[in-house]
Structure 1
Amino acid sequence: MADLFADRLFNAMDRNEPASGMLLVAAPGLASDEFSRSVIMLLEHNPSTTFGVNLAARSDVAVFNVMPEWAPLAAKPQALYIGGPLNQQAVVGLGVTKPGVEIAEHPYFNRLANRLVHVDLRSDPEQIKDHVQGMRMFAGYAEWAPGQLQEEIERGDWYVAPALPSDVIAPGSVDIWGDVMRRQPMPLPLYSTYPDEVSEN
């Protein structure tokens, strides 16, 4: 099954290059309990390090219970998301700026794409609240060693796609993986309802 998807789906398509602000979309049937149906927002990608957070893994923990000062800025559902398996004691903040905000003028923002920013959580939320439409908080992150991500892309594990602001602050009812797949070139939309467990379909 994995060979089918690697050889005939992602590997047969034109590829975007991974970069900060791009999405890694897990292949249908990716044999990984941690990354099945995941959508990773890349926060950094260079020859020495690659890391990002999974937009699609919501926890049952409320942001208010962990970081109450940031809860008013969190988009609904105001839950902590699981960014990845590494260092889950650390929290990463992503935000969507309001239209017209000049990102470069605000030192607590690191621009990723469109209106998407990596937010410095050491900052005062009061400084930021008037500049963001919404935020997400992620416990932990995913990381790749030099060359590792490229090998996984070549194998067909990931499809690289542009991100939209709505991917970060999507409502809880949205299937982010399916939503991202539906807007990709054919035939990827045909796989947007591919189940997490094929045996349960």
Structure 2
Amino acid sequence: MTESVSLTGRLLVATPAMTDPNFDRAVVLLLDHDAEGSLGVVLNRPTPVEVGAVLEPWADFAGEPPVIFQGGPVGLDSALALAVVPGEQGEGEVLGWRRVHGAIGLVDLEAPPEVLVGELGALRVFAGYAGWAPGQLEDELLEGAWFVVDSEPGDVSVTAPERLWRAVLRRQRGELALVATYADDPTLN
């Protein structure tokens, strides 16, 4: 039996073959991937709802655009937040923040924001998440629904989320970079 490699901290980039409208041109940061399933957030689905309208104490910490993002189709009535904290793993951890991968971590929205002043890069708040049962994501990968690529800390707080799908693909090497040129509607070619 082969042991699967954790994809935690990597990006899932929807391929043009992705048929689920929830994930059309989606870029998902995997926050957890193990034998019990996978959990991530869609990084490029801003909503019109401002952070201050829902989580007023955190409004001053929100990056541009300062809106709530739809993290996925599951649990839309719950929120989670990500932020980048510079430094290497093992260095002093920040109170109210838990490292997920590299400089990217989850923010405890129950903690007072003042505890994190000066520690966090731009905060991004997500309503909901994307989740997969054990083996479900692996099946989707075998079907060709996702490209798996490395994440960069700036992916979490990109100021033009509508361009993230193309930008992530464009920075890949070889043929994968060409997918960034895929037409939004190939029937119009």
Q: TM-score, normalised by structure 1?
A: 0.85
Q: Which residue, 24, 28, 47 being the options, matches 2:35? A: 47
CA distance in 1, matches of 2:92, 2:22: 35
| Correspondence for 1:88 among 66, 70, 76 | 76
Contact persistence 1:17–1:160 (CA under 8 A): no
In structure 1, distance between residues paired with 2:179 and 2:136 = 25
Structure 1: give runs of 5+ residues left out of the alignment.
1-15
Moved over 6 A (4+): none
RMSD in angstroms over aligned alpha carbons?
Answer: 2.1
Residue 141 (1) aligns with residue 129 (2)? yes
Q: Distance in 2 between matches of 1:183 and 1:36?
A: 19
Tell whether the 8 Å contact from 1:87 to 1:141 is kept in structure 2 after alignment.
yes
* Mapping for residues 65-80 of structure 1, pairs under 5 Å: 65-80=53-68
Structure 2 partner of 1:31 = 19
Equivalent residue letter for 1:85: P
TM-score relative to the length of structure 2? 0.90
Question: 2:106 pairs with 118, 137, 140, which one?
Answer: 118
Distance 1:144 1:135 in 2: 25
1:1-201 matches, cutoff 5 A? 17-98=5-86, 104-172=92-160, 175-200=163-188
Q: How many pairs does the alignment contain?
A: 186
**Identity across matched positions, percent:** 34
User: Aligned equivalents of 1:165 and 1:37: distance in 2?
Assistant: 20
Per the TM alignment, residue 49 of structure 1 is displaced from its structure 2 partner at its CA by 2.4
Q: Partners of 1:104 and 1:195 in 2: how far apart?
A: 45
CA distance in 1, matches of 2:139, 2:145: 9
